[in-house]
Structure formats: structure tokens, C-alpha cells
Amino acid sequence: MTESSPPTADHPPPLTRQPGRPELGSLYSSNGDVSISTTQSSFWPLPMALRFLPRRAVVTRSSASISNITNLTCASTYLRRSFISFPSSEPQRLTAHRVLPYPSEPLYDLIADVDSYSSFVPYCSRSRVTCWSDPDSTTGQRYPTLADLHVGWGGFDEVFTSRLRCVPGQSVEAVSGETVPGGTGPDASAVFRSLVTRWSVKSIAGPPSPRTEVHLAIDFQFTNPLYGAVSAAVSDKIASMMIEAFEKRAFERLNTQRKL
């Protein structure tokens, strides 16, 4: 008889029924790390949200994404109770900044060009301005006030209707979810309870010139803590990825204009 290998994170111990509770269909790992309880005789299929969870996160206590998993209760494809305490269910903020060798005015124009976001913003597959401001009394320029942004990553795909607040030459803010004045809360299928993205530019005086500091802040809150677990590997990097993409966009557009 071949001796079995000891359990590891990639090869967890087999799940067995807990003695004395067969009527609940409860399954427990032999080392006691995880308990999964269902109202059926089998815990498969898992709800779609749980299928995204990495296997390592489910079978180890030391996972960075999940802590203190004590009981998972499933009924068909719906969760019957909250079972994980995720920091991602609380409001979060991501920030990033760059100092770029361009004047602030053309950089601001790139940020205010929301229709072009799908051309360079990571995970933005489509962007469309649906409402514009009245022409500025001085410059005659119009700014976006409402837009639909299609965003998707890690199995998520959602359309955000964002109210835009443009302060010419200074900042562009996109507000979605409960933070929109007069808006209602998100529906059950929404990924974010609220999402606020704010770009700002500020000229830096002194040589070398020109120089502009570009700052990005993203405030968000997930509707369901599970979304935080699924997106943990990506969400912390989003701000850096976005500002790097903007830096590349500025280089392509503004350096080309310098050569003309």
C-alpha cells in the first residue's frame, strides 16, 4: 500500500462529514481549518461568488485575502448569512501621483476628455459622455457633466453612470452610487456601493519648467465583502496602473504636439 502524502495548501485534506450531524449535510476538513455547512446532502455546486475564491484562501488560515473562516452556509446559489469579516466591506481609498514635464492646461484637457477613457484607462472598455455643461462664459468650452463608463476585471463587468464635476484647469471628479446627490442605493447585483474618482492637476513653479503634479484619488466601497476577496490582487494596484496609463497617454499626445 502506498503511503499517502501529508496535506498541503495545494492538496488540502479530504472533507468528511462531521459525526453526529449528517442531517445538516455538514462537511469539515480533517484538520478543522474549514467548515462548510449546507442544507443539502452535498455542498456542490457552490454559489457563483464563492467559485471565484482561490483554493488556497479557503483551506488555510494564513491567507492574505480571508481570515478566520469558521462557517460557510449555502442554500442553492444564495448565501444565508455573512460568514467573513473583510476590511474590503468598509470604505477604502487608493491614491497615486506623478510629476510630469508638461503644462497643467493640456494635462487637464486630457483628463476632461472622458469620451477617450476607454482608449487608455485600464479595465475601461467603453466611455460615453451623455450630458454636457453650458458653454463657459469666458472660453466657450463645454465640460462633461454625466457619463456612462463600462468597467470590468476579475470576472466583474459593470456600467457606471457617473456624475462629473469639472473645475476648469484644476480637477475632474466622477461620482457613482450612493454618493450621487438624490441617488438611490445600488441594486443587489452592483459591485460597488459607492465609487468616487478624482483627478487633479497643479502647476509646480521654478525650474525645470514646465512641471505639473497630477494626483489621483479613488474612494470606493463594495456592496458585498466577497467582491473584495475576488479583486484583492488587483484593486490595490488600480490607482498606480491608472496614473501610469495617463502618463503614457500624455507622452504620446503632448510629445507629438511638441514635434509638430
Residues of the chain with pLDDT under 70: 1-89, 153-156, 178-189, 230-233, 257-260
pLDDT tens profile 76-88: 333 333 333 344 4
Nearest residue to 63 via CA among 208, 232, 251? 232
pLDDT tens profile 62-119: 344 333 433 333 333 333 333 333 444 678 899 999 999 999 999 999 999 999 999 9
Phi, psi of 143 (to 5 degrees): -125, 150
Tell me which architecture the domain covering 88-259 has in CATH.
Answer: 2-Layer Sandwich (3.30)
One-letter amino acid identity for 88? Answer: S
CB 33 within 8 A of CB 60: yes
Planar angle of CA 89, 246, 197, nearest 5 degrees:
30
Nearest residue to 74 via CA among 66, 65, 83? 83
Bridge partner residues of 148 (DSSP): 128, 161
Model-wide pTM > 0.85:
no
pLDDT tens profile 30-46: 444 443 333 333 334 44
Sorted by where each begins, the domain ranges of the chain are 15-85, 88-259
Q: What spatial distance separates the first Cα and last Cα of the chain, rounded to whole Å?
A: 78
